[in-house]
Amino acid sequence: MTYLDYNATAPLMPEVVAAMQEGWAHPYNPSSVHAHGRKARQLLEDSRRILADAIGAWPDEVIFTSSGSEANNTALRAVDRPLLVGASEHSSVLETARRLGGDIVPVGSARS
Ligand SMILES: Cc1ncc(COP(=O)(O)O)c(C=O)c1O
């Protein structure tokens, strides 16, 4: 078996570290109307535009979440039914799908 998941420890590219450090240098609330808040809002919206360009989406289609589990929950609650998910998915996908009434589809290996 070849295990391809970094298990939440994927190394970051230097460009990503630099961009994150710039964000940490401005730890302000982007919803605040003062100068620091406006700077944070600008960084947030610039990031949203760059990400949208990278994946061929519109900026208002990019939603930032605090974790993978929150992203999975958000996405699963936004899609139409029927909801089919593979049995090998992360528990945040499986549990949410179960609660939403989705079908869990067993996934066998290519050798089975
Ligand atoms: C595929 C997948 N989904 C969701 C998660 C959960 O992410 P988080 O710990 O950020 O909620 C992980 C964590 O490793 C994952 O590998």
Tens-place pLDDT, residues 33-54: 999 999 989 989 999 999 999 9
CB-based contacts of 40: which residues, under 8 Å, 6+ apart? Answer: 26, 27, 28, 29, 30, 32
Q: Which atom of ligand 1 is nearest to the CA of 5?
A: 16
Distance of alpha carbon 97 from the chain centroid: 17
Contact between residue 39 and residue 28 where contact means Cβ atoms under 8 Å apart: yes
Ligand 1 pocket test: which of 6, 69, 88 has the largest number of ligand atoms within 8 Å of its C-beta? 69
> Nearest residue CA, atom 15 of ligand 1?
90
**Phi, psi for residue 73 in degrees, rounded to 5:** -60, -45
Tokens 């994150």 — which residue?
A: 20
Mean pLDDT of the chain: 90
Task: Please report, rounded to a whole number, the percentage of residues in the chain having pLDDT higher than 90.
Answer: 65
> What residue owns the CA closest to ligand 1's atom 1?
90
Residue 112 has pLDDT above 70, yes or no: no
Cα of 100 vs centre of ligand 1, distance in Å, is 19
b/e per residue, 36-71, with b = 16+ CB within 10 A? eeeebbebeeebbeeeeeeeeeeeeebeeeeeeeee
For 7-29, what is each residue's pLDDT tens digit? 778 899 999 999 889 888 878 99
Residue 104 pairs in a beta bridge with: 85
pTM, entire model = 0.78
Nearest atom in ligand 1 to the alpha carbon of residue 69 is: 11
d(CA 101, CA 21) in angstroms, rounded, equals 41
Ligand 1 atom nearest 7 alpha carbon: 14
